[in-house]
Structure 1
Amino acid sequence: MKRTLLYLYISLSIFSCKQKVTAENTTSPAMGTDDALNIASVDTSKVFDINKIPISDKDLGVFPYLSAPEKYGYGDYAGGIKKSHFSDFDKEYFAVNGKLIPQEGRTCKVGIDVLNPETTEFNSLIVEKSFEKAILALGGVQLNNIPVPKSEIDRVGNTELINKHYGYSIGLNSLDDIKTYVIRTKDKEVWIQFCLLNKESGNITFLEKQKLQTLTIEKSH
């Protein structure tokens, strides 16, 4: 986090954020949060397969889909979400069953903080449960709720995670508290990962998986 943790920062730009779903107030009409948690999780003893993730029929809205919980905001010191937090094509490593898996696509990488530190202290549990409830209500599945071993960080390396900024939502001092989710619809695959430090702040990454278009080779006449 920005005050006591070493975090990985990104500064790429393209898209702006418009319509969002409020994280704290989103509810699932089909099931309660506890029931959803029991259903919407992966078996950590098996190799992850995206094709086994149920397809959600929920309308996700406009990227990055979720607003911050009430009394919280995006940006350092909740300064607001900016164009520099977005990229039309980027990369991020996501923790899945304790392993780091790279994904590429459209991203929003941004900090989370309280709007008014004079009246509100950053509560990581409130933020975590608010995002969890909203993501599950959209048909999301939790992919990581276990520690990421230091050996996995070493395997990927600082060049990828720090120098290239592909580990924005991985707190190197909080490897036991990285939360990862995926939402799969008929035409989208959305990854969400955050790491929070209680009484401090947090970082979150939204990634909508995409592939670059193949370049057209022009032939001489």
Structure 2
Amino acid sequence: MKHSLKPLFLFSALFILACNSNNKNGQQQDADTTAGTGTAGEAQATTAPQGQAFDINSIPVSDKDLGAFPYFSTPEGFRYQVEEDKEFHRIYHFVDNKLVPVEGRTFTAYIFHDEAKRKEFEPLLFERNYDNLIKSLGGVLVAEGHIPPSELERLGRDELYKYHGPADIWNDDVKTYVIRKPGAEIWVQTSHNTAGGSIVVSQKGEMKQTASIIRADEMKQELDSKGHIALYINFDTDKADIKSESQPVMDEIYKLLSDNGDLKISIEGHTDNTGNAAHNMELSEQRAAAVKNALTGKGIAANRLESKGLGQTQPLADNGTEDGKAKNRRVELVKK
């Protein structure tokens, strides 16, 4: 039996619910029977105060055992479809009437009924199972409802298609929960319509750096042989603030310029094609200028440096793939 996905879920989200592989069903049944009576998690808030700005520190730290990521199974009679488990990704979660990015490990999935066990998708059963279970684990409902059109327009479809969960955020209501553990921040979103549901779990965390930096002498060789070199400097999302993890790269550029006093370079910012071209041009200019300012701030003469942005106009790779987009988001040093 085929299901109608409507644009079914272009962004909802899953959340975490603790269950080891050997006891997932048992824990879920416990949640179903206890959450309705108030015996589970009585000492912890289960709904954020209304009318107040969201503060992550207001969420009680849970002492419940969540098991292994992504922490839980589907309710009995339901099944996952199109699961994605990503080591490091970004998902936009709905809170304070806006969409905020959460980066870290993510799990996303559509959820439908199992035809062999259930005749049709039952929205209330789906919603109530997850609501009960999340709250029994110390989770707090921090937002629910329809995402304002202004928020969708602000981010744009390109950005949301890239960093959505499986939910139709243009049409469906969503529920957002947060579970705090010692040293961990876990965001969960669920959404559903009459045909099926979706779930996303985002465990906030830093990316594990595996690529090594290019040393100053290697930069010099590349500039001498090719006249330019592409470097990957990380910035805050949609901003020109250089992330601390990119400081080693900045140190090597500084060393390159310090060791070669006659060298003059142009610092050129590039983006992928996500979002608005004019905005990308402006952002690339700001990021190139940020690199220049960081170097002059350490004592490199300003007349040895110039900066400019080229936006999405000179891609190195295919913007149709995630790897290609990552290669296109770069800063190039060009020998003058």
| TM-score, normalization by structure 1 | 0.79
Q: Quote the residue 2:165 is aligned against.
A: 168
Q: Distance in 1 between matches of 2:175 and 2:199?
A: 10
Measured after TM superposition, the shift of residue 115 of structure 1 is 1.1
Q: Quote the residue 1:12 is aligned against.
A: none
Q: Taking structure 1 as reference, are residues 70 and 53 closer, same or farther at Cα in structure 2, changes over 3 Å only?
A: same
Matched AA of 1:112? I
Q: Distance in 2 between matches of 1:155 and 1:207?
A: 22
CA contact (8 A) 2:70 2:107 kept: yes
Q: Quote the residue 1:121 is aligned against.
A: 120
Measured after TM superposition, the shift of residue 46 of structure 1 is 1.8
Q: Taking structure 1 as reference, are residues 51 and 41 closer, same or farther at Cα in structure 2, changes over 3 Å only?
A: same
Measured after TM superposition, the shift of residue 216 of structure 1 is 6.0
Cα deviation per residue 1:130-159 (whole Å; 9 max; x = unaligned)?
A: 011111111001111232111111112111
Measured after TM superposition, the shift of residue 187 of structure 1 is 2.4
CA contact (8 A) 2:186 2:203 kept: yes
Measured after TM superposition, the shift of residue 117 of structure 1 is 6.3
Q: Distance in 2 between matches of 1:5 and 1:220?
A: 49
Q: Taking structure 1 as reference, are residues 174 and 33 closer, same or farther at Cα in structure 2, changes over 3 Å only?
A: farther
Q: Quote the residue 1:26 is aligned against.
A: 30
Matched AA of 2:57? N
Q: Quote the residue 2:193 is aligned against.
A: 197
Aligned residue for 1:127, secondary structure, equals: helix
Matched AA of 2:61? I
Q: Distance in 2 between matches of 1:68 and 1:122?
A: 13
Q: Taking structure 1 as reference, are residues 47 and 216 closer, same or farther at Cα in structure 2, changes over 3 Å only?
A: farther
Aligned residue for 2:145, secondary structure, equals: coil
Measured after TM superposition, the shift of residue 88 of structure 1 is 0.3
Aligned residue for 2:67, secondary structure, equals: coil
Aligned residue for 1:101, secondary structure, equals: strand
Q: Distance in 2 between matches of 1:119 and 1:151?
A: 38
Cα deviation per residue 1:175-217 (whole Å; 9 max; x = unaligned)?
A: 4x2011111011221111111012x111211111111245665
Q: Taking structure 1 as reference, are residues 153 and 49 closer, same or farther at Cα in structure 2, changes over 3 Å only?
A: same
Aligned residue for 1:75, secondary structure, equals: strand
Q: Distance in 2 between matches of 1:96 and 1:2?
A: 28
Q: Taking structure 1 as reference, are residues 67 and 117 closer, same or farther at Cα in structure 2, changes over 3 Å only?
A: same
5 Å-filtered alignment, 1:72-221, equals: 72-75=78-81, 81=83, 85-116=84-115, 119-162=118-161, 164=162, 166-175=163-172, 177-198=173-194, 200-213=195-208, 217=213
Measured after TM superposition, the shift of residue 99 of structure 1 is 1.3
Q: Which has the higher helix share?
A: 2
CA contact (8 A) 2:45 2:60 kept: no
Matched AA of 2:78? Y
CA contact (8 A) 1:140 1:183 kept: yes
CA contact (8 A) 2:45 2:59 kept: no
Q: Quote the residue 1:49 is aligned against.
A: 55
CA contact (8 A) 1:171 1:178 kept: no
**Aligned match of 1:61 in 52, 56, 67?**
67
Q: Which runs of 5+ in 2 are unaligned?
A: 12-18, 218-336
Cα deviation per residue 1:7-40 (whole Å; 9 max; x = unaligned)?
A: 438xxxxxxx9727347413289x7436469931
Aligned residue for 2:31, secondary structure, equals: coil
Cα deviation per residue 1:58-91 (whole Å; 9 max; x = unaligned)?
A: 0100111111001001115xxxx5xxx1110011
User: What is the percentage of aligned positions where both structures have the same residue?
Assistant: 32
Aligned residue for 1:190, secondary structure, equals: strand
CA contact (8 A) 1:21 1:66 kept: yes
CA RMSD in angstroms comes to: 3.0
Q: Which runs of 5+ in 1 are unaligned?
A: 10-16
Measured after TM superposition, the shift of residue 118 of structure 1 is 7.7
